[in-house]
């Protein structure tokens, strides 16, 4: 997507030993890059959320393993050391399926190649995973566009009001994004669109990232506190909800940023369509019960107890505590929305009902 008229992806190979990313920890106040040269630097960047979002951390893990292969291509115990590097990258964040999926795919490619080809094979596979992520996002946008067109026709040219939670835009993937892909596709197609952006406490990915990327693409949007969605839905101000997903079960339960479940409940109570938008790399075919089986990342309590923003007076970022000094806090990163509350799942292959049968029908060749 474009930033000030220039096209960017969120991650790319800058030179043979250097992977470059957009440093999301600095947004929206500063647009800058970060260079990563070792798998340890990549793991740290994922853990500290210099890059984040399900698809992007999958690609980052793939590039992390490429950096590992570059360093250890000659090692006698190459397979074992790749296994250890993959485990370290996997341990950074547990909920998103894409991370594990990308690491398995990289290791398979490496296992099949001759020692002299290790580096080039790792580079090619990481690049293929990255390119595929961008292409799948573009396709999800086209499938979601059909829904946007229907609503626009019904509304006779009035803006289609979308509500989204967290950031499942292009910053969370390589390009286009998932939840925001239909929004960009509709906007670029001339459909009037307006997005309600949940701020998404505690890390505020909605306020700092979704608002930033929509603004740079020229999509009208309004930032709202996380608790406002239900009220907007009751008053007819939301036409459709699009959310991303970090892990989707074979039965269509979707784990996404904490607070998503409450949006789905409010959407159901108000008969508003609620779609999860995700590539097949997010589907965990081995589990069916998301509430029971999806591991929910718990992050540090300081993310709840403190807030960081821009201090206009000092003209620099500032972090402040928002609760009494000794107040404990809990920080569950994600929640699970059961399939029964999901109107449909938009994937790169089309829109599936949120059910075991719906997903299986779409991916019968991969999971017969």
Is 243 a residue that touches ligand MRU (CB under 6 A)? Answer: yes
* Integer Cα distance of 181 and 166 in angstroms: 14
Q: Which of 137, 205, 249, 337 binds ligand MRU (CB under 6 A)?
A: 205
Q: What is the arrangement of strands in the sheet containing 254-257, beginning at the earlier edge strand? A: 283-284, 247-249, 254-257, 334-337
Nearest CA among 208, 160, 156 for reference residue 184 = 160
Q: Site size for ligand MRU, by CB under 6 A? A: 16
Q: What is the arrangement of strands in the sheet containing 11-15, beginning at the earlier edge strand? A: 11-15, 18-22, 33-36
Residue 347, H or E segment: strand 344-347
Q: Packing angle between helix 54-72 and helix 39-47, nearest 10 degrees?
A: 160
Residue 353: C-alpha distances to residues 151, 180, 361 (Å) = 19, 20, 10
* Integer Cα distance of 80 and 172 in angstroms: 31
CB of residue 96 to ligand MRU, shortest distance in Å: 7
Q: Which is nearer to ligand MRU, 147 or 278 (CB)?
A: 278
* Integer Cα distance of 168 and 257 in angstroms: 10
| Residue in this structure with the two tokens 């950096």, named with its chain if needed | 67
CB of residue 336 to ligand MRU, shortest distance in Å: 12
Binding map of ligand MRU across residues 255-294, x = CB under 6 A, - = no contact? -xx-------------------------------------
CB of residue 74 to ligand MRU, shortest distance in Å: 35
Q: Which is nearer to ligand MRU, 101 or 118 (CB)?
A: 101
Q: What is the DSSP letter of 298?
A: B
| Residue in this structure with the two tokens 């979707």, named with its chain if needed | 254
How many residues are given for the chain? 368
Q: Which of 58, 333, 344, 358 binds ligand MRU (CB under 6 A)?
A: 333
Q: Helix (H, G, I), strand (E, B), or coil: what is residue 162? A: strand
CB of residue 167 to ligand MRU, shortest distance in Å: 5
CB of residue 324 to ligand MRU, shortest distance in Å: 26
Binding segment toward ligand MRU, per CB under 6 A, in 15-23, 105-113, 160-168, 180-188: 160-168
Residues from 22 through 61 that contact ligand MRU (CB under 6 A): 52-54
Q: Which is nearer to ligand MRU, 118 or 199 (CB)?
A: 199
Q: Which residue is nearest to ligand MRU (CB)?
A: 244
Question: Is 312 noted as a catalytic residue in this protein?
Answer: no
Is 97 a residue that touches ligand MRU (CB under 6 A)? Answer: no
Say which of 246, 253, 284, 335 is annotated catalytic. Answer: 246
Is 246 a residue that touches ligand MRU (CB under 6 A)? Answer: yes
Residues that bind ligand MRU (CB under 6 A): 52-54, 166-168, 172, 178, 205, 243-246, 256-257, 333
Residues with active-site annotation: 246
């Amino acid at each position: 997507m474009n930033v000030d008229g220039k096209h960017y992806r969120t991650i790319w190979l800058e030179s043979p030993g250097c992977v470059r990313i957009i440093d999301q920890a600095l947004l929206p106040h500063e647009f800058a890059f970060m260079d990563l040269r070792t798998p340890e630097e990549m793991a740290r960047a994922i853990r500290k959320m210099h890059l984040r979002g399900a698809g992007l951390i999958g690609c980052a893990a793939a590039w992390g393993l490429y950096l590992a292969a570059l360093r250890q291509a000659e090692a006698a115990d190459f397979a074992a050391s790749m296994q250890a590097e993959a485990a370290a990258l996997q341990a950074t964040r547990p909920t998103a399926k894409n991370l594990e999926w990308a690491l398995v795919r990289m290791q398979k490619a490496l296992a099949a190649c001759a020692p002299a080809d290790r580096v080039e094979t790792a580079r090619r596979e990481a690049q293929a995973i990255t390119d595929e992520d961008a292409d799948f996002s573009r396709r999800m946008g086209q499938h979601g566009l059909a829904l946007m067109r229907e609503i626009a026709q019904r509304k006779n040219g009035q803006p289609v009001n979308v509500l989204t939670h967290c950031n499942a835009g292009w910053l969370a993937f390589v390009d286009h994004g998932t939840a925001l892909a239909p929004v960009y596709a509709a906007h670029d197609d001339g459909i009037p669109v307006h997005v309600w952006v949940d701020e998404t406490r505690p890390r505020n990915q909605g306020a700092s990232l979704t608002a930033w990327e929509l603004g740079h693409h020229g999509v009208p949007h309004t930032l709202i506190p996380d608790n406002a969605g239900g009220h907007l839905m009751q008053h007819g101000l939301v036409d459709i909800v699009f959310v991303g997903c970090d892990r989707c079960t074979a039965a269509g339960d979707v784990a996404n940023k904490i607070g998503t479940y409450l949006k789905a409940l409010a959407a159901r109570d108000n008969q508003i369509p609620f779609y999860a938008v995700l590539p097949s790399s997010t589907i965990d075919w081995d589990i069916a019960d998301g509430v029971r089986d999806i591991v929910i990342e718990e992050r540090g309590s300081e993310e709840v107890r403190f807030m960081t923003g821009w201090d206009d007076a000092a003209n620099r970022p500032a972090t402040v505590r928002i609760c009494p000094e000794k107040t404990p806090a809990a920080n569950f990163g994600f929640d699970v929305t059961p399939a029964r509350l999901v109107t449909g799942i938009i994937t790169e292959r089309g829109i599936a009902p949120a059910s075991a049968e719906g997903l299986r029908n779409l991916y019968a060749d991969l999971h017969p």
